Amino acid sequence: MQLFFQGIENATTWTNLVYCLIGVTIGMLVGVMPGIGPVSGTAALIPLTFGMDPLSAIIMLAGIYYGAMYGGTITSVLINIPGESASVITCIDGYQMTLQGRGGTALGVAAIGSFIGGVVAIAGLATLAPALAKFALRFGPVEYFTILLMGLMMLMGLMGRSIVRGLAAALIGLLLSLVGMDFVSGESRFTLGLLQLERGIDFVPMALGLFGISELLLSLEEKINAAKPAQLNRLLPERHEWKPTMKAIGRGTGIGFLIGLIPGANAVIASLISYTVEKKTAKDPSRFGKGAIEGVAAPETANNACSGSAMIPLFTLGIPSSPTIAILFGAFVMHGLTPGPTLFQRNPDFVWAIIASMLIGNIMLLILNLPLARLWARVAMIPYQLLFPFIMVISIIGAYSLNNSLWDVGVMLVFGVVGYAMKKLDFPLAAMILTFVLGRSIESSLLQSLILSDGSLAIFFSSPLSSTFMTISILILVFSVVGGLRKKKIALSDSEI
Amino acid sequence: MHKNAALWSALFVGAIGVFFLIYSLEYPLKSSVGPGAGMIPFAVSLMVIGLSVILLFQALRRPIYFRDILPKSEGLRKIILVFVAAAIFLAVIPYTGFVIASTILLFILYVQHYRWYVSAGLALGISLLAFWVFGNLLNIPLPTNGWGW
């Protein structure tokens, strides 16, 4: 508790409050605007934080991440355009509520639910993370490798429709991470004699290309015509609606929190599952799709709870569970911090200040959202042909500013093509970026394990923990392959909603 | 067959695997303490090649044609234009500096939708604003020409 109050003290300095506000505001903008998501928004700003204090930098970047969840809701509800992928589900009932003249209520419920989900997730982070981090200190390279493997298997099992494509993307990401100097042997690997590759491929231009440029290109294919946002009247539900709304928020919080802990299960899945649960538990499921208030409250709460709890694997185990968290992982490393169990030990002030700033950021977002909702929605009305060249220039500057090198801009554009092709052919981008970010950790823990065992793979079944993680990994792989062979879709289809 | 995008993607994945496999043989597979610098890349490359073979069979059984996934004429033209504009940007920026290169890039992208004088105004305005914000306020050393912009 003392550490938490210390964290609040550190997070509430004027500098950190300003950076928190900047982060959540940019996050709102990123969430509202189609064509740019939290991954590319965060990645583009990382180089700009180099001169900043690490705490302020992470506060701002984390603010973008959870701010985008709030921002995506506004356009989903008011103009039926999801600004961010996790808000797709909210369009279903949210926009219907707007058509019924209840857009304000939808936004109010979404904001309250997001706030509650976010705060509960932060409370969970504050409660569970220290204990989990202490437990994880017992991990050796064997346990670390097996938990990484399990996390990646979960990711591949959940993302995309083809385990083969997921594995291919993941292993290529792993190979790309090995380019550059090998710190164990001192060898320069796969550099093609190029000086720029001695330090490896930087993840910022790679992420900007894979997620940012590819998304810009995909958005160019569609014509996004935003209608004028409707008038907002009442912001809160009717008296008789409070009880079902709060129940939906409660369920959404639980579902989102649990899903956020699972690598690969991102906020989209959390909001999808939450919506489905609400529909299945409702007394009158036919209301869903026609403006059911629970259809807005539950998914919005779930996606915010998920984004908060996703920080737990990052802080305690050093495992990013989604592409945006992977970018945050990279930001930590760039600022000289190593996410994982030792972070709580070596930098407790830093960790608790981040947790406190997330609470403050959620309060800021609640205030920013409700009175200014219509203003935010107007941002989405900016014609895309006006917006996307501007986003492209920001992305170029973001890539360039990493090393003040046009090489990184070129890398970004190449990965833009790669990301576009991957999206068209259903290769999951998340698998590639996550293994890329974790690649060196995977290699070093694997090598250390094999050195300890004189090359025997049996070491991965030597301890109860590692055996458990390996068994789960194998089961996930087997079920995914079997599921693929039976042509079963792992993700819920539209017809089930 | 050449119109099968899935086939090309499988071949591309295979090519990446083969590249890393051949290259990894230049590094020792074993060291005095255990696996060498080439071991992990070698093993992973083999897995990638194996996956590419599976993808190849999948592509032949269930082809995905370019015409089904690529946008039609207008959309494709816009996408190609983005890369043409970006290539021109990268080619000229070492000589012209950020402002001019960015203005050219933005002009090419805006002139598809707006009149030339509106596009020119937008392109120049955004470039100058970006240079001021990132170059001056945030002190990012953007490439400049002989006049310092």
DSSP A230: P
Chain A residue with the nearest C-alpha to that of B14: A168
Minimum-distance CB partner of B23 among A171, A190, A400? A190
**What is the helix, strand, coil percentage profile of chain A, to 5?**
75, 0, 25
User: Taking CB atoms and an 8 Å limit, are B48 and A175 in contact across chains?
Assistant: yes
Chain A residue with the nearest C-alpha to that of B5: A425
Q: Supply B30's token pair.
A: 């074993």
Segment B13-41 shows an average pLDDT of 89
Distance CA B70, CA A35 (A): 18
Residue ranges covered by each domain of chain A: 2-487
Per CB-CB distance under 8 Å, the chain A contacts of B140 are 47-48, 397, 400-401, 404
- Return the closest-CA partner of residue A273 out of A292, A290, A254, A289: A254
Segment B25-49 shows an average pLDDT of 87
Of chain B residues 55-94, which have a CB less than 8 A from chain A? 55, 58, 64, 69-71, 75, 78-79, 82-83, 86, 89-90, 93-94
Å between A315 CA and nearest CA of chain B: 27
Q: Check pLDDT > 90 for residue B100.
A: yes
Taking phi over 0 as left and psi of -120 to 50 as alpha, with beta for the rest, A37 belongs to: beta
DSSP A181: E
pLDDT digits (tens, 9 = 90+) for A148-203: 888 777 777 666 668 889 889 999 999 999 998 887 777 788 988 888 888 889 88
Under the banding of pLDDT at 50, 70 and 90, the label for residue A494 is: very low
pLDDT at residue number A64: 86
Number of domains, chain B: 2
Segment B4-10 shows an average pLDDT of 92
Q: Does A481 touch chain B (CB under 8 A)?
A: no
pLDDT at residue number A185: 75
pLDDT at residue number A224: 56
pLDDT at residue number A68: 82
**Do B131 and B102 fall into the same domain?**
yes
**Do B117 and B88 fall into the same domain?**
yes
C-alpha distances in angstroms, A256 versus A156, A308, B123, B138? 19, 9, 43, 37
pLDDT at residue number A490: 45
Mutation site, A45, A189, A382, interface B, largest B CB count within 10 A: A189
Å between A384 CA and nearest CA of chain B: 11
pLDDT at residue number A495: 34
User: Taking CB atoms and an 8 Å limit, are A221 and B79 in contact across chains?
Assistant: yes
pLDDT at residue number A176: 95
CA A28, chain centre distance (Å) = 15
pLDDT at residue number A491: 44
Q: Is residue B43 domain-resident?
A: yes
**Do B133 and B116 fall into the same domain?**
yes
Å between A451 CA and nearest CA of chain B: 5
C-alpha distances in angstroms, A409 versus A142, A205, A468, B86? 38, 7, 43, 9
- Indicate the pairing of strand A180-181 with strand A188-189: antiparallel
Q: Is residue B143 domain-resident?
A: no
Q: Does A193 touch chain B (CB under 8 A)?
A: no
**Do B12 and B49 fall into the same domain?**
yes
- Residue type for position A98: T
Chain B residue with the nearest C-alpha to that of A190: B23
3-class secondary structure per residue, B53-103: HHHHHHHHHCCCEHHHHCCCHHHHHHHHHHHHHHHHHHHHHHHHCHHHHHH
pLDDT at residue number A172: 95
Q: For A54-162, where are the alpha helices, taking DSSP H only?
A: 54-79, 88-99, 103-136, 141-158
Q: Check pLDDT > 90 for residue B73.
A: no
Per CB-CB distance under 8 Å, the chain A contacts of B24 are 189
Q: Does B105 touch chain A (CB under 8 A)?
A: yes
Q: Is residue B77 domain-resident?
A: yes
**Do B10 and B65 fall into the same domain?**
yes
**Do B79 and B117 fall into the same domain?**
yes
Minimum-distance CB partner of B34 among A178, A383, A450? A450
**Do B64 and B78 fall into the same domain?**
no
Segment A227-246 shows an average pLDDT of 78
* Segment holding A101, helix H or strand E: none
Question: End of a domain among B35, B69, B103?
Answer: B69
At CA A320, angle to CA A316 and CA A325, rounded to 5? Answer: 110
Chain B residue with the nearest C-alpha to that of A412: B86
Minimum-distance CB partner of B90 among A47, A406, A446? A406
Per CB-CB distance under 8 Å, the chain A contacts of B52 are 168
Under the banding of pLDDT at 50, 70 and 90, the label for residue B2 is: confident
Segment A107-111 shows an average pLDDT of 89
Per the prediction, chain A carries an average pLDDT of 83
Q: Is residue B96 domain-resident?
A: yes
Segment B92-116 shows an average pLDDT of 92
> What interhelical angle do A163-177 and A141-158 show, nearest 10?
140
**Do B55 and B83 fall into the same domain?**
no
Question: End of a domain among B41, B69, B97?
Answer: B69
Q: How many CB pairs under 8 A join A and B?
A: 138
Chain B residue with the nearest C-alpha to that of A484: B58
ipTM of the complex, rounded to two decimals? 0.92
Distance CA B95, CA B146 (A): 9
**Do B11 and B49 fall into the same domain?**
yes
pLDDT at residue number A229: 59
Main-chain dihedrals φ then ψ at residue B35, nearest 5 degrees:
-60, 145
Q: Is residue B147 domain-resident?
A: no
**Do B80 and B129 fall into the same domain?**
yes
- Return the closest-CA partner of residue B146 out of B97, B82, B74, B90: B97
Of chain A residues 325-384, which have a CB less than 8 A from chain B? 383
Question: Residue B49 belongs to what domain range?
Answer: 5-69
